[in-house]
Chains A and B, each alone.
Chain A
Amino acid sequence: MYDLDDPEVQQNFAHRYIHNLLEADEQVAFEEYLMEHPKLIDAIETDKLLARGLSLVETTTSKQTGIQRSSWLGWLLAGASVAYLSMFAIGSLPLQTKQLDGIDRVVYIDDIRSADPVQKRILLSSRSEKMVLMLSTDLGQAGPFNIKISQLDSGDLVAETKNAKQTETNDIVILLNTELFSPGKYQLTTKDSSSQVQTTTIIEFVDEKGEQ
């Protein structure tokens, strides 16, 4: 019915498959074709990876370039906003009065899957910044996740979010304000509600003086 051996048709179907735009019968035909053509899966994976890379780049540069935000990014920021607002459910946290008009910084924490605590250094600038923490989770972790950030020495809870969900790239997105933190070490605990697996990451905030 469809000439999926034709490269143009193939590219069109692959593109619409990634963006969930195929009709039901087209999807069946395309998936049956995929079963016999794994190289096409490779091409789709490459495109998905490129899309993911572009999304991440856009996250970090959208303020400077003025590129229109994608729907994915919109979703991401919406999710981050929810996480951000839920942080303020804790009464002891300072209230944030500014609007969520942009992200100053994205910090990637890729190793929360590690069994051993890892340490991540984050530079605190003198001004207040909105900071996105991107936590990469393990493939086996289904979530949702409960996340706590507390001071390492005192154990005082600084921020908490519950039922955080992963993005399609297995990242958890958390939006924080650096006003919450002072130089020192913090413990970021991530607990997978489904598997009850808990991982710990040590984050060290340093000011510009400390960095030098």
Chain B
Amino acid sequence: MQMARSNEQGVSNVELLHAIALGSKDAERLLVEKYYKNLFFILRSQTQDNSLSEDICQETFLKVIEKARSKEIRNPEAIGAFIRQTGINILIEHKRSIARRKTYSSDTIDQHEHLKQSSTLHHIHSAKLVEITQQIIRELPTERDRTILHDFFLQGIEKKVICQQQGVSAAHFDRVLFRARQRLKQALAIKLNVPPGECNLYHILSTLLTYVCLSQWMKIYGSYSERLF
């Protein structure tokens, strides 16, 4: 609990790994909370496979925490890069041997709850998304702005090229994208019942994530408390 409060004020990776080496379960939990979503996003981008990404995330954190416990992580400042590389290595290994599925496990490490924060967006139903997007398109003042969105998001054309082709400034381009993103976030905030002032998508998803984490950890601490009292 002490670690949780400290982390809100910004605990360094060095302190986090030091605490893990001393056996702090809080620190292990914080490490997973801090990096799980990021690793999952990267792996999913590479695999397009949610369940495989989750498996590899789980395996990655088991390995990383074991190494942290035994003080084998040489550069704590770069723990993020280390976690990513561990995940990528496991993915490469998996690709080399598709038949060999996840076999790594340890009964001495808590099986952390899968933090599906980044995948929450994939639950947005297609019909609803069409409705929101159509609204966004309708609100664009000119055909040129609609072309900008289309070329950038669907054709993958770079900003510089689009600005040249459409004869618009970088500032105008940014404004079109900013408005579209803001409207999408606002629409999602309404859908997810988040107060309008907190329409940052990251905040929305973080709120969901915190809820998932707390639910999981309440279960763990709840059973622990029952044994104590």
Interface residues of A (CB under 8 A from B): 11-12, 15-19, 21, 31-32, 34-36, 38-39, 41-58, 60, 67, 70-73, 108, 110, 134, 136, 139-140, 142, 168-171
Mask, B96-135, CB within 8 Å of A = 1, is: 0000000000000000000010110111111101101110
Interface residues of B (CB under 8 A from A): 35, 37-39, 41-42, 45, 48-52, 80-81, 83-84, 116, 118-119, 121-127, 129-130, 132-134, 136-137, 149-150, 152-156, 158-159, 180-181, 184-185, 200-202, 205
Are B129 and A49 in contact (CB-based, < 8 A)? yes
For the complex, give the distance between the alpha carbons of A139 and B122 in Å: 8
Are B133 and A53 in contact (CB-based, < 8 A)? yes
Are A56 and B133 in contact (CB-based, < 8 A)? yes
Cβ-defined partner of B153 (8 Å) among A21, A47, A108, A136: A47
**Nearest Cβ on chain A to B37's Cβ, whole angstroms:** 6
For the complex, give the distance between the alpha carbons of A88 and B68 in Å: 58
Are A171 and B184 in contact (CB-based, < 8 A)? no
Are A53 and B184 in contact (CB-based, < 8 A)? yes
Are B38 and A54 in contact (CB-based, < 8 A)? no
- Give 6 A-B contacts (CB < 8 Å), ordered by A residue: A42-B201, A45-B118, A49-B184, A54-B133, A67-B150, A136-B125
**Nearest Cβ on chain A to B99's Cβ, whole angstroms:** 14
Are B126 and A38 in contact (CB-based, < 8 A)? no
A19, closest chain B residue (CB): B156
How many pairs of residues, A versus B, come closer than 8 Å at their CB atoms? 129
B133, closest chain A residue (CB): A53
For the complex, give the distance between the alpha carbons of A18 and B44 in Å: 12
Cβ-defined partner of A32 (8 Å) among B84, B126, B150, B184: B84
Knowing A58-B154, A136-B126, A171-B126, the reply to whether A50 touches B51 (Cβ < 8 A) is no
CB contacts (< 8 Å) of A38 on chain B: these are: 37-38, 202
Cβ-defined partner of A36 (8 Å) among B45, B80, B150, B185: B80
B182, closest chain A residue (CB): A46
For the complex, give the distance between the alpha carbons of A40 and B81 in Å: 16
For the complex, give the distance between the alpha carbons of A71 and B150 in Å: 12
Are A35 and B39 in contact (CB-based, < 8 A)? yes
Cβ-defined partner of A140 (8 Å) among B50, B118, B132: B50
**Nearest Cβ on chain B to A101's Cβ, whole angstroms:** 21
CB contacts (< 8 Å) of A31 on chain B: these are: 42, 84
**Nearest Cβ on chain B to A82's Cβ, whole angstroms:** 18
CB contacts (< 8 Å) of B39 on chain A: these are: 35
For the complex, give the distance between the alpha carbons of A155 and B223 in Å: 50
Are A110 and B126 in contact (CB-based, < 8 A)? yes
For the complex, give the distance between the alpha carbons of A118 and B127 in Å: 16
CB contacts (< 8 Å) of A58 on chain B: these are: 150, 154
